[in-house]
């Protein structure tokens, strides 16, 4: 079966952005990388069509094992609306059905998938995520000075948004300080959205990490989050206060990934001796982050074929939440175990250069 194609949104292309299918996969330190459990959701739908995960993979494939073994509560992790995953026969009728639903999710006249050749004996799987998060309180764009974003390749001046001085004190509970760790120069902010329980989380790690490790730290800090008036203005204040500084680069990225080579191996399922082979597994991602919020769009498609307050004014401790070196950004429901989108910003290719 030939590839199922994309009808894709065109955004300005920067340096190549990588994509991983599972949060435990290692990340290149010098590139930006995206991950979303949207591919996992589509893979789960494919396994459901087979009656469960494969009982044998020959030769053993580590990525297939990770995808088959991933356990998550889809209803709690994925947003309340704006996404869906499908699996069914590799036929035009099923592709048309998926495209009709996908078009509604994307708010477009046509769906994003195009079936080039039918394969009635095979299966196809799809996924769509289209979600915007509008910050509860917008930040401010810097128009007088740039942010110097530094990587191993050097420094680059880019546009950024954020807050400082008295404006930082006005965000209240709309910005939560999950971590401020001067000892290893790491920190994390959770920014609330206006609708549902969507939030954006920014995490500057002390050193390079994979998505699973970053998420584990963030789960720990979110579980410890507690407002305590006596901490107001201190280093461990859980809200922004006057003299705090927030600086975040604008982001606009696009990533295209072909997971087919990583998913090779004959998969045998319970009740059948017929082996199956992944013949297409692709993901296309676009992401934007700006002073008013964030937007993500993920498109997944693939094919599977058988062979054959204190009483006295507190002393304010200034803290700088400046994302001027590689960092993570997540879209994460407030109580969910996993985010529904994550990006490792390992270079400045997704940023707006300061001219």
Q: Do residues 22 and 40 make contact, with C-beta atoms less than 8 angstroms apart?
A: yes
- Residue 78 is given by DSSP the state S
Q: What DSSP string describes 230-298?
A: GGTTSTT-SB--TT-EEEEE-EEEEEEEE-GGGG-SEEE-TT----EEEEEEEEEEEEEEETTEEEEEE
Q: How far is CA 191 from CA 60, 80, 169, 349, in A?
A: 41, 18, 14, 24
pLDDT the model gives residue 119: 85
CA distance 112 to 231: 50
If 0-12 CB within 10 Å is exposed, 13-18 middle and 19+ buried, where does residue 5 land?
middle
pLDDT the model gives residue 15: 58
Identify the CA nearest to 90 among candidates 301, 261, 264.
301
Element (H or E) spanning 69, and its range? Answer: helix 62-69
* Averaged pLDDT, groups of 10, the chain, 355 residues long: 30 68 92 97 97 95 97 95 96 96 94 85 96 96 95 93 93 92 94 92 95 96 87 86 94 96 95 91 97 97 77 72 92 93 92 88
CA distance 15 to 1: 31
CA distance 33 to 38: 15
Identify the CA nearest to 248 among candidates 202, 304, 209, 212.
202
CA distance 103 to 130: 11
Architecture, CATH, for domain 1-348: Roll (2.30)
Q: What are phi and psi of 262, to 5 degrees?
A: -85, -10
CA distance 317 to 255: 39
CA distance 48 to 50: 5
Number of alpha carbons in the 13 Å side-chain half-sphere of residue 329: 27
């Amino acid at each position: 079966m030939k590839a199922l194609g994309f009808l894709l949104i065109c955004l300005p292309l920067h340096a190549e952005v990588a994509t991983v299918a599972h949060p435990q996969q290692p990340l290149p330190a010098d590139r930006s990388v995206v991950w979303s459990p949207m591919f996992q959701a589509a893979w789960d739908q494919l396994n459901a069509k087979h009656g469960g995960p494969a009982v044998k993979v020959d030769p053993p494939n580590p990525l297939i094992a990770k995808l088959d073994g991933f356990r998550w509560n889809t209803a709690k992790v994925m947003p309340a609306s704006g996404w869906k995953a499908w699996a069914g026969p590799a036929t035009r009728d099923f592709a048309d059905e998926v495209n009709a639903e996908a078009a509604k999710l994307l708010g477009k006249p046509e769906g994003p998938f195009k079936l080039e050749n039918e394969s009635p004996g095979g299966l196809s799987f799809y996924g769509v995520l289209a979600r915007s998060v509008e910050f509860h309180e917008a930040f401010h764009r810097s128009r007088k000075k740039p942010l110097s974003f530094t990587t191993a390749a050097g420094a680059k001046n880019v546009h950024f948004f954020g807050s400082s001085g008295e404006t930082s004190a006005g965000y209240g509970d709309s910005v939560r300080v999950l971590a401020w760790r001067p000892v290893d120069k790491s920190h994390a902010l959770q920014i609330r959205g206006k609708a549902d329980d969507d939030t954006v989380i920014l995490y500057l790690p002390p050193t390079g990490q994979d998505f699973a490790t970053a998420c584990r730290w963030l789960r720990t800090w979110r579980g410890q989050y507690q407002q305590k008036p006596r901490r107001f203005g201190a280093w461990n204040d859980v809200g922004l206060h006057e003299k705090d500084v927030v600086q975040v680069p604008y982001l606009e990225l696009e990533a295209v990934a072909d997971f087919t080579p990583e998913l090779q191996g004959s998969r045998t399922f319970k009740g059948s001796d017929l082996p199956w082979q992944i013949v297409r597994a692709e993901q296309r991602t676009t992401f934007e982050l700006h002073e008013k919020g964030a937007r993500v769009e993920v498109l997944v498609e693939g094919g599977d074929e058988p062979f054959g307050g204190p009483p006295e004014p507190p002393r304010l401790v200034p803290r700088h939440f400046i994302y001027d070196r590689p960092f993570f950004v997540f879209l994460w429901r407030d109580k969910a175990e996993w985010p529904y989108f994550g990006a490792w910003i390992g270079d400045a290719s997704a940023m707006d250069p300061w001219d």
